[in-house]
Structure 1
Amino acid sequence: MASTDIQELWAGSHQLPSWFIEALEVPREEGFVDIGGSKVHYFRWGTRGKPPLLMTHGFLSHVRCFAFIAPFLAGEYDIVAYELAGMGDSELHSASTHAGRGANMIAVAEAFDFFSGPVKPTIIAHSFGSSVGVTAMELAGDKFAGLIICDLMIMRPETLREREEKQGMGPPGSGDATRPNNIYPDYKTALGRYILSPPQPVGEPFLKDYMAYHSLRQVEGGWTWKFNPLVFARTEDDNSAQQQLGGRVANLQHRLAIIYGENSQLFDADSVAYVKELGGTHIPMIAVPEAEHHLMLDQPIAFVTALRSVLALWKHGQA
């Protein structure tokens, strides 16, 4: 298993820790499932019939951000992690608006028969993927056991405006949908262009290289990104849904938890206060020490511990 993930090209300069190697050796299934006529790439761990978990990643990322996280949960759960349309190895299709992505998340759960068992599936999603999870809960919250939001960008409207005006940063998912992905002459050059968003150092540098390698593919003339640039296409409805995220999260009448990086630029102490002011006082919000936005790259074991804790409490009926 590890041989498909650990390649000399990215791993050769690192001393990989045993926990990472062992996580990648946990048996998993890899494949594609048809959703609305498009191929969706997924990994699956655990045992059929155990409580189901549905995972997805952040914007322009891919399923391997959970490839070294999910194995720590595989003993107790049936886990599917999938790639959002147009990202990783998943095909892009027409349903790539926020509403369409939420409906697709429900369809993925249906494709794996997650709604037929005695225990409803729980969604675990990072960043942009969490906004997809919020939409899925709005559309069909009664089908799910709950949603664990992992460092989703939630800010006051005035903070968002200041961020856009003073820092020159557009809304999440901003980019040019008409511009084709660059082709770099070699892997080293491509690796040098891999920049986390928001930019940050990582607690475990080998994990950044791992994620970068699997974000790229070889093509004629060099290396390019796997994601389809059309994922940058946004509607006014998409922008409105993003701006209202705080209220949408606070108003969800379903079981929720928020896990965030204590040093995150996108969800901070003021975000906690803002969600509470909007009515989200019932939502547990757990800060991972020494982590920024990319929790699984900064503090992977602490992130696993936070996930295990929330899931254990929910399993025993505690909010």
Structure 2
Amino acid sequence: MASTDIVDQWAASQDLPAWFVAALDVPREDSFVEIDGVKVHYLRWGKRGNPPLLLTHGFLAHARCFAFIAPFLAEEYDIVAYDLAGMGESEMVAGCDGDERAQGMVAVAEALDLFSGPVKPKIIAHSFGSGVGLTAMELAGERFGGLIICDLMILRPERLFAHFKGSKGPPGSGKADKPNNIYPDYETARRRFVLSPPQEVQQPFLMEYMAYHSLQQVDGGWSWKFDPRVFRRSVNDQAKWLEAPQRIVDLPHRLAIVYGANSKLFDGDSASYLRELGGSHLPMIAVPDAEHHLMLDQPLALVSALRSVLALWDTSTS
């Protein structure tokens, strides 16, 4: 479904800044593509034939975390942001973990013709989605033009073990066999919406926007859009997190990192650790005054950081 008036029911009822309203009003496609019998939800901005970008989100989030970021890139790029399987409005698939999610990312790019032009698509991904993007680059990096990781958890081993001990598990842990709770009304459900890791956001209306699009009406009230089976994943075990820094450093393809300067999952010491492992060649850009959910803290600064990396890559032959 294509639209030239994207200000949705929630946004229309709020007192919102002009930049956000203008971003939502940039024409976009809001649709589904079927891949191996499974529906994948995506949003698309920009002109077909422009350099392609493929965007995805963190754990239990959805493509709309880029709904107010992508429009600022839409004049120059053909942009697809999609919901990972079992999250947002994308259907769950059996055995969806690690390589399967990465293969799914490649399949989305294929299904939406992002590989058909002369310029290779670049991946921009946040948190858990960055892990998917990293694996996709390891599987099919020659087909992509680069990966921008946005605040993936990278910690020295001793800090990682302390993090797991303190939080009882990786970000977004939960029970795969427990059905989602059903709340009697939206307000009750909304009060259960929290960020992981917990943080205050500097743009509260963006928190409200993400919460609204994370919930849906069901029989008996309101519940979450995500499928609880997404918790059946080994990609977040300690071994995988321990391997991630070296995998980043060893990736033979173009990669950059953008992170919140106040993030608890990637900070200055994380950057130093990557350099010690051999990652001095990697651009690592801190977004000032932002935490892990940097698009909810400093969305326009995040846009500037992404523009900077893309501009350098677009003018580089490497």
Partner of 1:304: 303
Aligned mates of 2:4, 2:212 — CA distance in 1: 14
CA contact (8 A) 1:38 1:91 kept: yes
CA contact (8 A) 1:263 1:293 kept: yes
The structure-2 alpha-carbon separation of the partners of 1:164 and 1:238, relative to structure 1 and needing over 3 Å to count, comes to: closer
Partner of 1:90: 90
1:116 is displaced (CA, Å) by 2.0
Partner of 1:119: 119
Once the two structures are overlaid, the 10-residue window that deviates more, 285-294 or 235-244, is: 235-244
1:279 is displaced (CA, Å) by 1.3
Aligned mates of 1:142, 1:278 — CA distance in 2: 23
Aligned mates of 1:217, 1:197 — CA distance in 2: 20
Aligned mates of 2:282, 2:234 — CA distance in 1: 30
CA contact (8 A) 1:183 1:223 kept: yes
Aligned mates of 1:144, 1:62 — CA distance in 2: 22
Partner of 1:58: 58
CA contact (8 A) 2:256 2:309 kept: yes
Report the residue type matching 2:27 in the other structure: P
CA contact (8 A) 1:11 1:209 kept: no
Task: Give matches, 1:203-242, under 5 Å.
Answer: 203-235=202-234, 240-242=239-241
The structure-2 alpha-carbon separation of the partners of 1:108 and 1:236, relative to structure 1 and needing over 3 Å to count, comes to: closer
Aligned mates of 1:198, 1:281 — CA distance in 2: 28
Once the two structures are overlaid, the 10-residue window that deviates more, 167-176 or 50-59, is: 167-176
Aligned mates of 1:71, 1:294 — CA distance in 2: 19
Give the total of aligned pairs.
316
| Other structure's SS at 1:234 match | coil
1:239 is displaced (CA, Å) by 5.1
Task: Give matches, 1:25-64, under 5 Å.
Answer: 25-64=25-64
Once the two structures are overlaid, the 10-residue window that deviates more, 170-179 or 51-60, is: 170-179
Partner of 1:267: 266
Any unmatched runs of 5+ in structure 2? none
Residues 288-318 of structure 1 show CA distances to partners (whole Å, capped at 9, x for unaligned) of 0010011111000000000111101110007
Once the two structures are overlaid, the 10-residue window that deviates more, 28-37 or 101-110, is: 28-37
1:278 is displaced (CA, Å) by 1.4
Residues 161-195 of structure 1 show CA distances to partners (whole Å, capped at 9, x for unaligned) of 11122x23302342110111111111111111000
Q: Alignment RMSD, CA only?
A: 1.7
Aligned mates of 1:57, 1:113 — CA distance in 2: 20
| Other structure's SS at 2:167 match | coil
Report the residue type matching 1:115 in the other structure: F
Q: Normalising to structure 1: TM-score of the pair?
A: 0.95
1:238 is displaced (CA, Å) by 5.8
Partner of 2:77: 77
Partner of 2:105: 105
| Other structure's SS at 2:178 match | coil
Aligned mates of 2:312, 2:144 — CA distance in 1: 16
1:266 is displaced (CA, Å) by 0.6
What percent of counterpart residues are identical?
Answer: 64
CA contact (8 A) 1:2 1:24 kept: no
Aligned mates of 1:69, 1:173 — CA distance in 2: 23
Any unmatched runs of 5+ in structure 1? none
The structure-2 alpha-carbon separation of the partners of 1:288 and 1:6, relative to structure 1 and needing over 3 Å to count, comes to: same
Aligned mates of 2:291, 2:122 — CA distance in 1: 24
| Other structure's SS at 2:41 match | strand
CA contact (8 A) 1:275 1:281 kept: yes
Aligned mates of 1:68, 1:285 — CA distance in 2: 23
Aligned mates of 1:7, 1:181 — CA distance in 2: 24
The structure-2 alpha-carbon separation of the partners of 1:198 and 1:270, relative to structure 1 and needing over 3 Å to count, comes to: same
